[in-house]
Amino acid sequence: MRRREFEMTEQREIELFLEEASFGFLSAVRPDGRPSITPLNYVYADGAVYFHGSRIGDKMDAIRHNPHVAFAVAKEYAIIPSHFTDPVMACPASAYYKSVLVTGSIETVEDLGEKAAALEALMRKLQPEGGYDPIRPDDPRYIPRLKGVAVLKLVPKSITAKFKFGQNLADEKRSGVTAGLIARGLPLDRDTADLMERYRPHASKP
């Protein structure tokens, strides 16, 4: 990573973001060599990333051809206008965000128990209010559906993360950005200001 000050290496922080987010982009290579990017929901569980979908289609063809993939998850928290820190120049304009890149190999899950556990974890993530019967591999209502759906497991080889929240700023400019966020008051501005303080380097830049 070119800007090391934005690199996130704390494993639990990365896991918390992967557990919080619900949507990402899966990159694979089609059999003819063309790149493939598929937007999809996912769940991060037991150190792996799980997806589900049809057993046929471009995504499945690409994975069968080459199981080595990349998966990206990102969330933009705030656009930082240049005038938060400079009254004239456009250069300070930026965006604050979290992003995680997972690379590894895809495995097709066939065990009904693991399938049920992955899909149940996905349901808890996307429908936390409940309102459905738990997905169990021994439930005769779910068995045919579990057999019919494709569940894919991305086993990570590497996980890298970039959390950009002004870690490169001197105290004066940091204060300007924080004040601008609080005054603007967009839905995620207060969260962004809190994250700026949370990820603030121990030593301020001169």
Which token pair is 63? 């994975």
Q: Tell me the mean pLDDT in the region 151-172.
A: 96
40-65: pLDDT as tens digits: 999 999 999 999 999 888 999 999 99
* Mean pLDDT across 24-43: 95
Q: Is the pLDDT of residue 68 over 60?
A: yes
With pLDDT > 90 as the criterion, what percentage of the chain qualifies? 92
pTM: 0.90
Nearest to 152 by CA among 28, 34, 32: 28
Least confident of 29-38, 73-82, 93-102: 29-38
Q: Which residues contact 178 (CB under 8 A, 6 or more apart)?
A: 193, 196, 197
pLDDT value of position 201: 87
Residues in Cβ contact with 118 at an 8 Å cutoff, skipping those fewer than 6 apart? 43, 45, 50, 52, 109, 151, 153
Q: What confidence category does residue 3 fall into, taking pLDDT thresholds of 50, 70 and 90?
A: confident
